[in-house]
Structure formats: structure tokens, C-alpha cells
A and B are shown apart, each in its own frame.
Chain A
Amino acid sequence: MTPSALSTDPTQSFKRTITGVTLVALPVVLFMLALMLGRYPIGPVDVGKALLSPLFPDLAADIPDVARQLVLRIRLPRALAALLIGASFGGTGTAFQAIFKNPLVDSNILGVTSGAGFGAALALLLLRDTWQVQLFAFAFGLLAVFLAFFGSRLYKSTPLLILTLMGILIGSLFGSLTAMLKYLADPLDTLPAITFWLLGSLTAITWQKLSALAIITIVGLVFLWLVRWRLNILSLGDDEAKALGVNPARMKLWIIICSTLITSAAVSVSGVIGWVGLVIPHAGRILVGPDHKRLMPASIALGAAFMILIDNIARTLLPGEVPLGVLTGLIGVPILILLLRRNRTGW
């Protein structure tokens, strides 16, 4: 028997197919649920009709206009935003863990979330317009990473440790600045707005906000998708990557730029949602192994599914909204502990 004949193990490829189908189906099913659930439940057939109504207006004739409006104007953009944000956290977390050779980091390691939080707090304090809040959050997220990255360039070489340290330093700097703004903010009006923004929510999503988010996120994720196999090589370290003909410095710079753009875009819409980017890649590794060729798609799908699950719960658990930042940990930690118990992985 030739080696290549041996290499296709039927049971293994069957398992892989099952896992793949599940990973694709999971966010789709949860997405459909997101359109159906809420204070005003809508049946699956009606949801389908409402979704198709912009193309075939006749279809929506027999469903109430409220249901149609609710699906198209409120639930659809919100569900799409949750999908995109979850996908970007999953994807960038995976990329950062690879290039930092460290399973304990996510795209926040360079301070993007703290920067965005500060930007949003500043806008909430001074300007109060929602699109300005989004813009400020986005811009300050980028600024924080820029400072961390070029701060580490002050050293002759850029070892990962210096870059990580810089990220932590810049993160705490913006953390302190945000705390100062909260201290200065009006406790009856502005302070709750800042606090609630920092806890994360998708309540205020609109089609307009969504479109900006979607463009950046899709372009960025396509790039991460394309370089996903190369992440394996970067995770071996610079010397080995060079010996394999890869330019690690250039590659990492592009991955950092790209990940920062999409994380910043996501955080500027949703507010601070920690933890997802850190943990989703671990869940992905348990399901499909560490090869980034499969791990990247798995993390993107899992991130999207997890985020939309969390948002569904946030909308329906209590009469009011539960902040997303609260739920991610409350629900994610038990799920991950269960996964870890069932699987032994050696990352």
C-alpha cells in the first residue's frame, strides 16, 4: 500500500465532516432563534416570510406588520452584529494566540479595548452623539495599539515580551484615564451611560452602524482566513519561520493591523466584551485540534455562535437587558470547564 493510500482514514474524515457541519449549523440555528425569540415571539415561517418580504412583498401579506418591522428593523441587524462581533473575537483571538505563541492572550493584549473604552467614555462625557461615541471608540482603540506597538520599537529588537509588556502598560494607562473620566462624569446622567457602555450591549444597533462594522469585519476576517495556515509557522517562533522562508515581522505587522481594525470596530459597536477572544480558540482547539487551517474557521464559527447565544439570553432572560460583558463569563466559563473535563488537550 502506498503512503498516500493510507493517509485518508475514513473514520477520521467522517468525524471531521460531522464537526464541520455542526460548526456551520450552530450559528445558523442560533441566528434563526434570535429572529424568533423576544417579548413578541414570532414563528419560523413568519420569520422566513418577513426576511423575504423586501424581495417579494406579496409574501408578507398575511403576517402582522409589527412582526415584519420587528424582524427587519430590530432583530435582524442586532443578530447580524452579534454574529460579526463574535466571529471577529474568535478569529482575532486565534491569530493573536498564534503570533504571540501564547494561549493566554487575545486581541486585547495590545490595549485595544482599554483604548476604545476611553474613547467612548470621552465621547459620552463631551459629545453624547451615538455615532461620535462609535467613532471615538474606534479611533482610540487604534491609537492604543499604535502606542503599544511603536513604543516597543523604541527597543532595538522587538521581542514578544516587550510588546506584551507595552500592551499591558498602555492598557492600564487608558484604564486609569477612563477611571478619571468616570470620576469626573455626572453621577446621575453621564456616569451610568459610561458604565453601561463599558459593560457591553447591542441594544443601540442600527443598520447604519452595522454597515460600517460589516465592511471592516468581513475584509479583516477574509485576510485572517487567507493567512490561517501561515499562523502555524508563525507560532513556531521567528527563527524557524525565517528558515521556512516566511518573513515573520511583516506577517505579524499585517495580522496586528488587521486584527486591531476589526476588534476596534467590534468594540466600538458593542462596548467592552472581554473574554470571548481568549476562550473561543481553546474551545476550537478541543474540537478540531491546533492546526490553524481548521482552527481559524472553527473559532470564527464558534465565536459567532457564542455571541449570538449570549445576546439571545441578554434579550430574553430578564424584562430589561442584561449587559453582555456580564453574561459572557457567567455562561462561557461553565461551558469551557465542561469541555476541558471531557477532552484532554496538550496545547
Chain B
Amino acid sequence: MRLGAKNLNYGYLPGQTVLHDVSLNIDPGETLYVLGRNGSGKTTLLACLAGLIQPDAGEVMIDGKNIRTFSATERARRIGLIPQIHTPTFAYTVAEMIMMGRAPHLGWLGAPSQEDHAIVDEAMAQVGLFELRDRPYTEISGGEQQLVLIARGLAQKCRILLMDEPTAHLDLSNQHRVLEIVNQLSDQGLSFIVSSHSPNNALAYADRVLLLTGGWVSAYGSPLETLTESLLSSVYGIRTEVIYNGEGEAKKPVAVITQRPISLLPESLKYPHSLLSDVFEKSFETPQLILVTGLSGVGKTTWCTRLVDLARNEGLTVNGVLSPSVFKGQRKTGIALMDLSTGERRQLANLRKDDLAKVRTPRWSFEPQVMDWANQVLKDTGENDLLIIDELGPLEFFQNKGLVEGLKRLDTGRYKVACVVVRSSLLPNALQRWPNAIVVNGSTRSESKTQP
């Protein structure tokens, strides 16, 4: 049995779209992993595929037949949905829970027969739950609960099973136990579509992977094609590293790990073969982007200022803008803007007058002329070794306002080394846009943690 979806679109409310043109295919015995951040539409996709909700556009097909043409019972005999583990109101026994999978095979007034009991026993034996058959489902472990739900899918006798985050809440050994059983079942010809938060499980078990970002398909293909550093960095908005085994034909990804921002002092630019000097070395071949990140006030601008000074000492040319804060006493009252090529400095933003006492967003009133001037600065460039953009914030990422010329230059790659300041909360948005960027911790204080 073959399941396919073509250009699925779905929104819970009119005008809203949770899924955009999602298409996929799954053959017998295949396992498809659906990966994406929270709220990217994984569960909605499974609900569409299971026929729980009707897509606004597009269609779900079983062997080329639209599932709308199937009745609810006919559909449930072909596609099973294995939900996340949950606690039912009543403490049904394991056997009773699994028996519920027989529902689509019984008339709507029917009750289970001797044959259904035999099927339930077989499903329990298949996943190794037989000894627990009379235990209350509410009292067994999470891993066992997940196996009960899988056994219920088996009792349903579907060829296609959809699993919603089967490993959520499971410890390492229970994850392994559940996924090995799923793997062996797929060897027997069952198809699985698994939504998951674990790229590593996908690496180990998936035949195909679908990456979702905000309801759009970012990538769809084999694990080797889809689970790459740049795609994963962009989908999850954090720097990821993929570890490979073997070379050439045998090269195989084996693990995905997440990377913390690198703690790096600008001074390391002076030393040959430090990470920073390597970046400048590589910039002759491809543009290099450094994202300087951290919470407000950790010293991101200071970090950039020190890099600018050091770069100039090394004889490199610098342009772009720095935006140092303006303080009155202890209080940050404004943001200045400095053109690095000329050294000219203007006042970009002031704290709103009516806002001195209360916190409100946006707290800053920007001077439009100064913003235009800054965009002019970012636009006309000669060939420069280092471009500084301090900083890209919500205006740029969400409203396409502010330093838009900076965004354009970064997107078109007209730079050698760009050093961009982004606050921590917007780092995922920045990485979604430029997944290959190097992420640097903008703090200049944690010198002890410094890497060479």
C-alpha cells in the first residue's frame, strides 16, 4: 500500500496557513521522518494524512485513490495513527487498550469476538507485551505505554502507521527499544511516518526525511541529502554539526550535534591559524559571515569595536556601522550610529520621552534621516576586508525596515568577512537566513572560557 500527499495546504482559521504545499510519498516498508521545530506543522500534517482533518487544498491518496472517497472505517483499516502517550481517564488494561484497535473491523454495534482476542494476543506478543496484558495501562512505564499504542496500531491491521513523536518523554534505552521494534516492523513491510524532534533518530532509522519550517517543506529526500549542517542549522535556527563516518562512497552521517556559540576573543586575530585569522584567510574564496550574539549588555558592540581596531592594525580595510549605546549616568538613553569608514557619528534613536518610567516596546523612536544615512553607508562600498553591521533586530527581520541595505548585502554575498550583531532571541531567525554563519559569543568578559 502506497500513501501519497500532493500540495497539502491547511489552516485552522480562515486566512491562516499551517501547511504550505506539502507533498510526500511513502512506499511499503519505508520509514519517513518528519522533522521541524515546535509549531512547524508536524502534528497537523499527520492529522491531515490520517484524515482527521480535511486539507484546504491538495489531496491525500492511498494507492492513487483520494482518502475522501473512503469511509471512516475503511480509512482506519488502512492508516493508523499512534498518538503521543497520554493518560486516559479510565484505567483500561493493556489488552483492553489494544483491543480498541479492532474498532474499524467491527460493525458500529459490534463487540470483539474470539478472533479479535486472538489478533490482540498476537499484536501483544509481537511487541513483547504479553506479560503485561492485565496490567492497567495507566500504571506501566512510558516506553511500555508507547509499545501498547504501537500494538494497537498492529491490531488495527493497517499497512501505514503514523506516529506522533514516539520518543517524546522516553529515556535513551526506551527510545531505542521502541524504535528498534518500529524498525523490525517496517522490515515486515509496514510503512511508518514518524514525527520527531530527534535528527539522530532520523539518521539511524529513516529511509526518507521531510524537513518542515513554518509549514513549508525545507527539504525532502534521503537522510544524506537532508540532514546536512546547513539545512539543519536553518530548520532549527541553531548551529549544528554533522559527524560522518567513512570516506567517499561509504561516507555516512552518524550523528548530529548542536553547537554552542564559540567563545572567541578578537585578539586571536593576531595569531596565525587561529579560528579568526582562518576566517579572513578563507574569505578570499567565499564570503564569511560571523554572527555576534548574546544577551543585551554583554558587550557585543565592544567586541566588534575591538575587532575593528585590531583589523586596522593588521592593515585590513573596514566599513559598515557600529551602534554604541548612549548613557546618561547608569541609564541607556539613546543609540548612536558610527560610520566606520569616515568615523562620522550621529544620534540614531532616543528613548521615548513618555516612556522614561515604564517599559514598552518599541521603546525607541528612530530618526528616519539617520536611518537613511546608515543605509547609504552600507550601500556604497568599495572592496573592503571587513564589513560590520551593528545591529540587525526585529525591524530588519520581521518588518523589512531599518538597515535593509545591510540585509541585502548579506543576502547577495557582496562582502568578504561580515561581522553582524544579533541579539540571542533573534539568532534562530538569522541562522534560518544564513545557516552557514559562524556564531560567536559576543561577551568580552568570559576570558577564561576562551578557545584559541
Interface residues of A (CB under 8 A from B): 3-4, 6-7, 9, 12, 98, 101-103, 226-230, 232-233, 235-236, 239-240, 242-247, 251, 285, 289-291, 293, 345-347
B90 touches A4 (CB 8 A): no
Closest to A223 in B: B109
B108 to chain A, nearest CB (A): 7
In the complex, chain B residues 94-111 whose Cβ is within 8 Å of any chain A Cβ: 96, 99-101, 103-104, 106, 108-111
A230 touches B76 (CB 8 A): no
Q: How far is the CA of A289 from the CA of B93 in the complex (A)?
A: 9
* Listed stretches B132-140, B361-369, B424-432; interface member: B132-140
A245 touches B90 (CB 8 A): no
Residues of A within 8 A of B47 (CB): 239
Q: How far is the CA of A141 from the CA of B293 in the complex (A)?
A: 66
Q: How far is the CA of A247 from the CA of B73 in the complex (A)?
A: 9
Please tell me if B379 contacts chain A, counting CB pairs below 8 Å: no
Q: How far is the CA of A207 from the CA of B118 in the complex (A)?
A: 48
Q: How far is the CA of A236 from the CA of B98 in the complex (A)?
A: 12
B121 touches A232 (CB 8 A): no
Closest to A241 in B: B103
Given contacts A3-B130, A245-B77, contact A290 B103 (CB under 8 A): no
Please tell me if B441 contacts chain A, counting CB pairs below 8 Å: no
- Which residue of the partner chain, among B80, B100, B110, B125, contacts A236 with CB atoms under 8 Å? B100
A246 touches B72 (CB 8 A): yes
B121 touches A244 (CB 8 A): no
A226 touches B92 (CB 8 A): no
Residues of A within 8 A of B90 (CB): 98, 103, 235, 285, 290, 347
User: Interface centre among A102, A103, A246, by most B CB within 10 Å?
Assistant: A246
Please tell me if B230 contacts chain A, counting CB pairs below 8 Å: no
Given contacts A235-B89, A240-B83, contact A245 B134 (CB under 8 A): no
B103 touches A244 (CB 8 A): yes
A4 touches B81 (CB 8 A): no
Please tell me if B452 contacts chain A, counting CB pairs below 8 Å: no
Please tell me if B75 contacts chain A, counting CB pairs below 8 Å: yes
B89 touches A12 (CB 8 A): no
12 contacting pairs across A/B (C-beta < 8 A): A3-B118, A12-B134, A227-B109, A239-B52, A240-B81, A243-B50, A244-B101, A244-B156, A245-B72, A285-B90, A290-B91, A291-B96
Closest to A226 in B: B109
Residues of A within 8 A of B124 (CB): 3
20 more CB-based (< 8 A) A-B contacts, given A290-B96, A347-B90 = A3-B118, A3-B125, A4-B118, A98-B90, A226-B109, A228-B111, A229-B110, A230-B103, A232-B96, A235-B88, A236-B100, A242-B50, A243-B76, A243-B83, A244-B156, A245-B103, A246-B72, A251-B108, A291-B93, A291-B96
Q: How far is the CA of A240 from the CA of B50 in the complex (A)?
A: 11
Closest to A232 in B: B100
A249 to chain B, nearest CB (A): 11
A346 touches B138 (CB 8 A): yes
Residues of B within 8 A of A4 (CB): 117-118, 121-122
Closest to B104 in A: A245
Given contacts A4-B121, A346-B139, contact A243 B81 (CB under 8 A): yes
A297 to chain B, nearest CB (A): 11
Closest to A231 in B: B90
Closest to B112 in A: A229
Closest to B100 in A: A233
B72 touches A229 (CB 8 A): no
In the complex, chain B residues 29-58 whose Cβ is within 8 Å of any chain A Cβ: 47, 50-52
Given contacts A6-B130, A228-B111, contact A244 B91 (CB under 8 A): no
Residues of B within 8 A of A9 (CB): 134
B5 to chain A, nearest CB (A): 17
B76 touches A244 (CB 8 A): yes
Closest to A229 in B: B111
> Contact flags (1/0) for B123-164 with A, using CB distance below 8 Å?
011000010011010110000000000000000100000000
Residues of B within 8 A of A347 (CB): 89-91
Closest to A289 in B: B93
Q: How far is the CA of A291 from the CA of B51 in the complex (A)?
A: 27
Q: How far is the CA of A12 from the CA of B134 in the complex (A)?
A: 10
Given contacts A233-B100, A233-B103, contact A243 B111 (CB under 8 A): no
A7 touches B133 (CB 8 A): yes
- Which residue of the partner chain, among B50, B89, B133, contacts A101 with CB atoms under 8 Å? B89
Closest to B52 in A: A242
B150 to chain A, nearest CB (A): 14
A244 touches B83 (CB 8 A): no
Given contacts A4-B118, A236-B100, A242-B72, contact A345 B91 (CB under 8 A): yes
B75 touches A245 (CB 8 A): yes
Residues of A within 8 A of B108 (CB): 227, 230, 246, 251
Residues of B within 8 A of A102 (CB): 89
A290 touches B118 (CB 8 A): no
- Which residue of the partner chain, among B77, B112, B117, contacts A7 with CB atoms under 8 Å? B117
Q: How far is the CA of A243 from the CA of B81 in the complex (A)?
A: 6
Q: How far is the CA of A38 from the CA of B89 in the complex (A)?
A: 43
A247 touches B89 (CB 8 A): no
Q: How far is the CA of A3 from the CA of B126 in the complex (A)?
A: 10
Q: How far is the CA of A239 from the CA of B75 in the complex (A)?
A: 14
Closest to B120 in A: A7
Residues of A within 8 A of B133 (CB): 7
A290 touches B92 (CB 8 A): yes
A303 to chain B, nearest CB (A): 18
Residues of A within 8 A of B125 (CB): 3
In the complex, chain B residues 387-419 whose Cβ is within 8 Å of any chain A Cβ: none
Q: How far is the CA of A229 from the CA of B92 in the complex (A)?
A: 12
Residues of B within 8 A of A285 (CB): 90
Residues of A within 8 A of B77 (CB): 245
B217 to chain A, nearest CB (A): 24
Residues of B within 8 A of A226 (CB): 109
Residues of B within 8 A of A235 (CB): 88-90
Going nearest first, the 4 A-B pairs with the smallest beta carbon separation are A245-B76, A245-B104, A290-B90, A243-B81
B122 touches A244 (CB 8 A): no
Q: How far is the CA of A299 from the CA of B76 in the complex (A)?
A: 31
Q: How far is the CA of A227 from the CA of B107 in the complex (A)?
A: 10
B83 touches A291 (CB 8 A): no
In the complex, chain B residues 56-94 whose Cβ is within 8 Å of any chain A Cβ: 72-77, 80-81, 83, 88-93
Residues of B within 8 A of A6 (CB): 121, 130
Residues of A within 8 A of B50 (CB): 242-243
Closest to B91 in A: A346
B112 touches A293 (CB 8 A): yes
B136 touches A346 (CB 8 A): yes
A300 to chain B, nearest CB (A): 15
A232 touches B52 (CB 8 A): no
Q: How far is the CA of A210 from the CA of B88 in the complex (A)?
A: 39
